[in-house]
Each structure stands twice: as structure tokens, then as C-alpha cells.
Amino acid sequence: EVKFILFTLAFLGFLAFKGGSEAVLPAYLVGAVLANIFTSNRELVKRLRATSMAILTPFYFLKAGSLVNATVLYSGIGLITLFFLVKTISKFLGLFPAGVAFKFSFRTNMFNTLMMSTGLTFGTISALYGLNNNIINKEQYSIIVLTVISTAIIPTLIAELFFQPTEEDKDLKRVEKIQ
């Protein structure tokens, strides 16, 4: 199963690359198509995750990261901060009310909202696509990728340090499900 899925991903990635798109994008489609299989087969998910994290992911992020111009961090700090705030606040405004509607505790809702406000993979994919197709230049690419990285790291650190759900939060949710 794993070999077949990886072969399918490689083939679709090749087609995407030849078509002028990012080779990693078909992984999203395959994930959506196989979602039901993944929910019922946890062992398959573990093997795929281990394989992709060990073999595929490092190459992609090394490529994406090597194209970042580090000097832009200083010259573009204002834009990076602005984009960080816009992205984080808009994701927060979209996600937090959903947690309220589902009656999550404040701590759980904040944790989920902060963890879901990241967009590391798709953000870097879209930035790399823009750079490769001359839609954006290297400086713009660097600003976008640095923003994407900061919106992945900072909310995750805040969530882990200050809003990690306690056992009481988890037990409360279990009790609500039973009732």
C-alpha cells in the first residue's frame, strides 16, 4: 500500500512538474481522496508519515529555505510584521468563534486556534510557485516565506507554553460528549 501510494504521488508530482505546477501539490489531492482509508488504517498513516518525513519533506524545505535571502529579514521586518499580524488575526477571527460554537473550554479553544493558524507547508508551496513562475521576485519570496515561518513558529510556541489543554479540559470534553 505504501509503495503504491508513494508511486502514485511521484507520478502525479512528475505530471504537475511537467505541467508547470509544484510537484508537491498532488499530495493534497491524494490525501483528500484517501481520507476515508487513512481514518480506518492508522498503521498505513504511520508508515506514510515516517517515510515522507524521513525522505521527502527535508528535500522540499531545504530547497524552499535555500532560496530565502536572509538580509531581507532586516530590510523587510515591517512587512513581515504586518503580514504576520494580518494572517494571525484573520485566522484567529475565523477559528476562535468556531471553538466557542463547539463549546470548547477557553484553554482548549485558544490552543486549537493557535495551532490551526499555521500554514507552513501550503504557504511555502505557494510562495515557491510564485517565485518559479516569475510572479514574485526573490525579495518578495523571502518576505513571504519568513512570514509563513513566523506564523508557524510563534503561535505554536504560544499555544504550547500557555494554552496546552490540561487533563481536566480533556475530561470535561469527554463528559460533554457522553451527555
Same domain membership, residue 99 and residue 23? no
Q: What is the pLDDT of residue 39?
A: 83
**Which one of 32, 57, 82 terminates a domain?**
57
Same domain membership, residue 74 and residue 132? yes
**What's the mean per-residue pLDDT of the chain?**
85
Q: What is the pLDDT of residue 179?
A: 53
Same domain membership, residue 136 and residue 81? yes
Q: Please report whether residue 84 resides in a domain.
A: yes
Q: Please report whether residue 89 resides in a domain.
A: yes
Number of domains making up the chain? 2
Of 30-34, 87-91, 134-138, 170-174, the poorest mean pLDDT is in 170-174
Q: What is the pLDDT of residue 170?
A: 67
Q: What is the pLDDT of residue 176?
A: 58
Same domain membership, residue 135 and residue 85? yes
Residue 173 has pLDDT above 70, yes or no: no
Angle subtended at Cα 7 by Cα 126 and Cα 33, rounded to the nearest 5 degrees = 60
User: Which range of residues forms the domain containing residue 33?
Assistant: 1-57
Q: Please report whether residue 62 resides in a domain.
A: no
Q: What radius of gyration do the chain's Cα atoms show?
A: 19
Q: Please report whether residue 27 resides in a domain.
A: yes
Same domain membership, residue 39 and residue 79? no
Instruction: State the Cα–Cα distance between residues 89 and 45, nearest whole angstrom.
Output: 32
Q: What is the pLDDT of residue 114?
A: 93
Amino acid identity, position 151: T
Where is pLDDT greater, at 33 or 88?
88
Instruction: State the Cα–Cα distance between residues 114 and 95, nearest whole angstrom.
Output: 9
Alpha helices of the chain — where are they, by DSSP H? 2-18, 26-33, 35-40, 42-51, 57-66, 72-75, 77-101, 106-116, 120-132, 138-162, 167-178
